[in-house]
Amino acid sequence: MAIWGSDAAPNEAPPRQHDVRVSALRWYDLVLLPLGAAGFALVTGLFLVLADWIFLAPDGATPGQWARSVSSSVWFAYALQIALYAGVVLTGFALLRWRGCRLSEVYFPRVRFRSVLAAGGLGAIFAGLFMGLLSLLPPETQQQLIEQSELLSPTSGGEALALLFLAVLLAPLAEELYFRGVMLRLLSEKMRFVTSASLTAILFSLSHGHLFVLPGPGGWALTGLLFTVGFVFAALARFTGSLRVPVVMHGAYNAVLLAPGVTAVFNGLPF
């Protein structure tokens, strides 16, 4: 049942619920959330580099020299990714508080537990399809994918836990908040759901970069699958009225994709 959007029936949501969810949004939020995330990541990165230089740099090393060394490390890449996604969530939280609203009220109302379970299963199914598609790609394309993700590939238990936290919890929360929480709802106020869901799914799939780093059929195939996943996320957000379900599906999807590599790290096998 549709509960918000230009093509939603008037009696499908209580007036107060609809008013809160729509009035809490502004079109400039589409810019403020990325800017807030970038600013938070920049401040975090500068702080980490400075702290690392103060406590760990050898005598004679300048901040600029040490920054180049730190910026190429795995832990710094994880820290920046975490700061970037956390920045999206914190910016969204701050904007809502400034407008007198709560994050849970606007984006995460309660849903049935069976809906959450079904979303987790659906995420695992799509992850299986993604891995099956990867296995069909030419070996050189698969090698390109491995090289692209090499910097964030875990080599220790700590890095594996950081990657799980990032990919299973923080990234789904931030991406769903932006694409399905803010963008989809704003677009749905001006156009029909299929159009707004398609636009957000296109931007979501392009943001993962497969089409740019893998020119040819492989990049198009992976981008097309991510478009389908993004459209399903949008449908779940629309018909449940909550981001809880797409966040769970998104997290399950990422968890299944990461499971072989993370398991190999904890078993002491080469990743």
Res 86: pLDDT: 97
Whole-angstrom distance, CA of residue 100 vs CA of residue 97: 5
Tell me, what's the pLDDT at 231? 97
Task: Give the mean model confidence (pLDDT) for residues 99-107.
Answer: 91
What's the pLDDT score for residue 15? 41
**Comparison of pLDDT for 180 and 24, the residue scoring more:** 180
- pLDDT of the residue at 18: 47
Amino acid, single-letter form, for residue 53: W
What angle separates helix 217-240 from helix 113-136, to the nearest 10 degrees?
170
Are 66 and 60 in contact, with CB atoms under 8 Å apart?
A: no
Mean pLDDT of the chain: 85
pLDDT at 146: 67
Asked if the model's pLDDT at residue 3 lies above 50, the reply is no
pLDDT at 72: 80
Place of tokens 């990032």: 166
Kindly report, residue by residue over 173-209, the tens digit of the pLDDT. 999 999 999 999 999 999 999 999 999 999 999 998 8
Closest CA to 247 of 152, 163, 122: 122
Mark 179-202 as b/e (b = at least 16 C-beta within 10 Å).
bbbbbbbbbbeeeebeebbbbbbe
Question: Element (H or E) spanning 65, and its range?
Answer: helix 63-71
More confident residue, 206 or 22: 206
Find the mean pLDDT for residues 123-137: 88
Q: Is the pLDDT of residue 108 over 70?
A: yes
Check whether 13 has a pLDDT greater than 50. no
Phi then psi dihedrals of residue 77, to 5 deg: -60, -45
Task: Report the percent of the chain where pLDDT is more than 70.
Answer: 88
Predicted local distance difference test score (pLDDT) of residue 22 = 55
Q: Copy the structure tokens of residue 219.
A: 């990049």
Contact between 85 and 167 under an 8 Å Cβ cutoff? The reply is no
* Coil vs helix vs strand at 226: helix
N-terminal to C-terminal alpha carbon distance within the chain: 44
Residue 238 has pLDDT above 80, yes or no: yes
For position 145, what pLDDT does the model report?
A: 73
Q: Whole-angstrom Cα distance, residue 252 to residue 258?
A: 10
Share of the chain above pLDDT 90, in %: 53
Q: How many CB atoms lie within 10 A of CB 50?
A: 14
Measured in whole angstroms, the distance separating CA 242 from the mean position of its chain's CA atoms is: 16
**Could you please report the per-residue DSSP string of 92-113?**
HHHHHHHTT--HHHHT-----H
Q: How far is residue 223's CA from residue 205's CA, in Å, rounded to a whole number?
A: 5
Closest CA to 128 of 265, 264, 252: 252
Nearest to 244 by CA among 118, 124, 125: 118
Residue 149 above 80 pLDDT?
A: no
